Amino acid sequence: MTMLARPEILIADDGRDSLIRAELGAFGLRWLGKVSWNEGNWRLVQRAVARGEAQLSCTGALVVETGAHTGRSPKDKFIVLEEATAQDVWWDNNQAMSRRHFDQLRADMMTHARMRDVFVQDLEACPGAEKQFPVRVVTETAWASAFMRHLLAPVEGQEGRFMPGLNIICLPSFKADPARHGTQSETVIAIDFNGMTVLIGGTAYAGEMKKAVFTVLNYLAPQEGVLPMHCSANTDENGKTALFFGLSGTGKTTLSADPARALIGDDEHGWGENGIFNIENGCYAKVIKLDEAQEPAIYKAALNFGTVLENVVLNEACGSVDFDDGSRTENTRAAYSLSQIAGATPGVMGQHPEVLVMLTADAFGVLPPVARLTPEQAVEQFLLGYTAKVAGTERGVKEPEATFSACFGAPFLPRPPKVYAHLLRQKIKAHGTRCYLINTGWTGGGYGVGNRIALPQTRAILKAVLSGEVDQAKMRIDTNFGFEVPVALNGVDSKLLNPCEAWADIVDYHEAADDLVQKFKRAKK
């Protein structure tokens, strides 16, 4: 095991300390301990190991545990309710926190931070867009600071001139009081759109910070005519862009990390007037059972120096990591900068998409592995967002279960789904984007009976979609959903293309299909 010497101080005494303390003090963070400001990856790795926050793997990856919270806590997330948000926010989907409770929470968190060491990063979201979004992140652990430095774009040389559009204060050691703060537990993620502030307490799961930025941009972007999207994106050698919508675990990261195409980003994007831009500057990949042969680019990035590995099991005898070990959680993660993926294009805007793919993991084994969608069908599927929650992505989810998540990301939507659907419809029609559904879920039966569709088969299907082969294929109409489904594709088992043929019992298939159709009908109401 490689150990690093304990640093004596957090920053050099070069006048920067007084400057950042003054800025933090104006925000309410006063009488702090030591302050780290915009330190780079190497220094943050040193801090994290020396402070006992993390261990270093034999390849230099930073291995951390997030405690009881190994996934997001959607029931602990709140938006401040006031005059403006009362009309704009989708309250059927979001929990309200009063201004009084938020102000009390903020005051108590500021008090809690006194005499504590903090780590500050000045960052930018949307680095490739026409307009960047500045974010200041204050954390109490070095590894969380390194995490956000991977996920967003570092801003250099702007000390004293950086004007954050959003402040995130993440203090996992702070415990909320439901009676005092209006929360449901000691955990809280509270968003104030008026003050552009996010307060996070009671959870060390770093994905809360990442998704808080996305939630804020989901609120702001539609006002600018920009569609924020829970999707990955890549381009071919001619610059033609493809989008991949889907919830965590459906293949956004895996399928977009294609060595034959340039990666724009793996999770969050905006579709603006001039094309597609990445909201982030890094990747947050699921790494449970990560296989070097099938996902070489992600495997390499996950082991690089400074990559943050959340809840991955480390062999302390030799310093190697075991990606197959899900004893802590199935939601093991790797956070790394986009530059760690060969051929990626950090901070570059892609063309308006030629292809849009909606990914789903059908837990019932009914949906075909690929279908061509009309613009109307694409918008309908976007609004439904059918997939399966994957084990570990949220607390309490132990195995995949069918769910409908509007716009493939309902937990991150502060506005009603129709707002985003309207923008999607406009952009698909304006740019002639071709739309498809790809099912990466089960075949030959539902979860527990059938098998997950093999990744090589999904890759062959995607290749046929991107090359236009699907559009040239003979089609049948899926009797359950009305989709156009290809009868045959190169390199794809024909039985896979027609799900009923993969089932051992045709009667069981039709029962499952009828049940899923009814679920779709209920979800549309």
CA distances from 86 to 83, 92, 94, 216, 357 (A): 5, 12, 11, 16, 34
Q: Residue 85 catalytic?
A: no
Q: Single out the residue of 220, 268, 271, 212 nearest to residue 241, CA to CA.
A: 271
Q: Which of 43, 150, 210, 211 is catalytic?
A: 211
Q: Which residues of 491-507 are buried (b: 16+ CB within 10 A; e: fewer)?
A: ebbeebbbbbebbeeee
Name the residue type at position 459.
Answer: R
DSSP of 379-401: HHHHHH-EEEEPTTSBTT--S-E
Q: Residue 141 catalytic?
A: no
Q: Single out the residue of 296, 303, 295 nearest to residue 57, CA to CA.
A: 303
Beta carbons of 248 and 361 less than 8 angstroms apart:
no
Name the residue type at position 33.
Answer: G
Q: Residue 72 catalytic?
A: yes
Q: Which of 210, 230, 261, 389 is catalytic?
A: 230
Q: Single out the residue of 264, 287, 298 nearest to residue 129, CA to CA.
A: 264
Q: Residue 476 catalytic?
A: no
CA distances from 504 to 19, 219, 443, 507, 508 (A): 69, 47, 11, 9, 8
Q: Which of 267, 269, 329, 405 is catalytic?
A: 267
CA distance 388 to 65: 26
Q: β-strand 197-201 against 166-171: which pairing, if any? A: parallel
Q: Which of 253, 337, 360, 440 is catalytic?
A: 253
Beta carbons of 248 and 281 less than 8 angstroms apart:
no
CA 322 to chain centre: 23
CA distance 62 to 53: 9
CA torsion angle for 352, 358, 359, 360 (degrees, to 10)? 160
Q: Which of 69, 72, 101, 372 is catalytic?
A: 72
Q: Residue 211 catalytic?
A: yes
Q: Which of 69, 252, 352, 415 is catalytic?
A: 252
Using DSSP's 3-state secondary structure scheme, residue 242 falls into strand
Q: Which of 187, 203, 248, 360 is catalytic?
A: 248
Q: Which of 149, 333, 352, 372 is catalytic?
A: 333
Q: Residue 267 catalytic?
A: yes
Would you please indicate which residues are annotated as catalytic (active-site) residues? 72, 211, 230, 248, 252-253, 267, 333
